[in-house]
Chain A
Amino acid sequence: MNPDRRSFLLGTGKLLVLSTAASVAWEAIVAGRPETATNYTMTDHWWAMVVDIESCIGCGICLRACKEENDVPRMPQYFRTWVERYRVNPSDLEHPVVDSPNGGYDGFPGKGDPDPDAKHFFVPKLCNHCADSPCVQVCPVGATFVSPDGVVLVDKTYCLGCRYCVQACPYGCRFIDPRTSTVDKCTLCYHRITKGLTTACCETCPTGARQLGDLKNKKDPIHQFLLGHHVLVLKPQMATGAKVYYNGLDGSVR
């Protein structure tokens, strides 16, 4: 199936699934009273995400949307999500050439340094919201946790700023917010998905390379997608129970 049709189906499916809940919640949100939105039962959901490498064009719009939506520090090198650019010599998976200038915020302008004999692709990265999260395991006080609906969150009023979780994350997705001296990271736009909206990055991705999925919802198109494609998670040997599934992930991706 060509990338266009696939992402179209995913996108429309998502819209159909979310719009019912969304429209009900919407009235309450616009009225400025989000707490009266649809009753959201945490145990009805188990959130995940699908990233389609074959569709990602490295435009960086997801990054910008995330920084806007979640008030991520604008100064360089603090990212809840970022995009990496890979150039891989087909016979040498162990030495990819990778870069991520300002995380891809400006969309990788310029010609770069392509190699006609190599393969090239983008890899968007974010918190994998691991089911067996090593970062949650090491927090000494319980300031980070896996919510009942599968999202790894940080309690900013409780975090000590000891940075143990930053060390324990194999994917480098956590950072210390210099403004609050506590840990910050992708929350899967928890404030949006609990109101029937999708994440900021998925909402604005122009090619549908990023799609939110609810593994507990039988009608969610993620099930069809995972059935029909060969997917990988990052660093599967770490057995973190990562829930961001990559389609088209190359063996050279770190």
Chain B
Amino acid sequence: MSGWLKDKEHLARMAGLFALGITAFFVFRWVMVPAGFGLYGHYRPGALDDARARPLHYAGRAACEDCHADVVAARVGSRHARIGCEACHGPLFAHVQAGGEKKPARPDSRILCARCHETSPWKPKAFPQVVVAEHSPEGPCVACHKPHAPKMS
């Protein structure tokens, strides 16, 4: 046994074990850390792409205007002019992608209209609201109010 290692051999072996472990750790790290990690910040840049790649369900009102210009015209100046089409008609991206097929079902006006227009002290005072049961005990709201130009002249 060489001079300076005398009585220290076991420590040298333990140190060797530690060195092995630390090296293995760095190799493992080099293999496993995801590509590009840290490019923009402490995260995997692929996560941004994942977030962007989510599928669309709502098309946005601009898409409706391409085919439904008549409805757009009907809504000009009406009280409902600023409401997005899909607020009432639901998600329509599939309908656009299918070139106009997969038409959405007509919403039930008594349920849909009451959502916004049923009287509630929580709604802003200036917002048009009625007690639906008194205003119209039965029958669809669209019998009197055209949904795209609801104000009765």
Asked whether any CB of A lies within 8 Å of a CB of B in the complex, the reply is yes
Nearest first, the 4 A-B pairs at minimum CB distance are: A155-B47, A191-B54, A114-B121, A145-B43
A57 touches B62 (CB 8 A): no
Name the prevailing secondary structure of the A interface residues.
mixed
Chain A residue numbers with a CB within 8 Å of B27 are none
A240, CB-defined interface residue at 8 Å: no
Interface 0/1 of B15-49, CB less than 8 Å to A: 00000000000000000001001001111101110
Nearest B residue to A8 by beta-carbon distance? Answer: B82
9-residue interface stretch from A165-173, A200-208, A224-232: A200-208
A85 touches B56 (CB 8 A): no
The size class of the interface chain B forms with chain A is 35 or more
B84, CB-defined interface residue at 8 Å: yes
Chain B residue numbers with a CB within 8 Å of A198 are 60
Count the A-B residue pairs with Cβ separation under 8 angstroms: how many? 156
B51 touches A68 (CB 8 A): no
| A142-B37, A204-B86 known; A65-B122 Cβ under 8 A | no
For this complex, 7 residue pairs linking A to B, each with C-beta atoms less than 8 Å apart, are A65-B58, A69-B91, A109-B118, A155-B44, A157-B47, A190-B48, A194-B52
B58 touches A112 (CB 8 A): no
The size class of the interface chain A forms with chain B is 35 or more
A85 touches B40 (CB 8 A): no
B122 touches A22 (CB 8 A): no
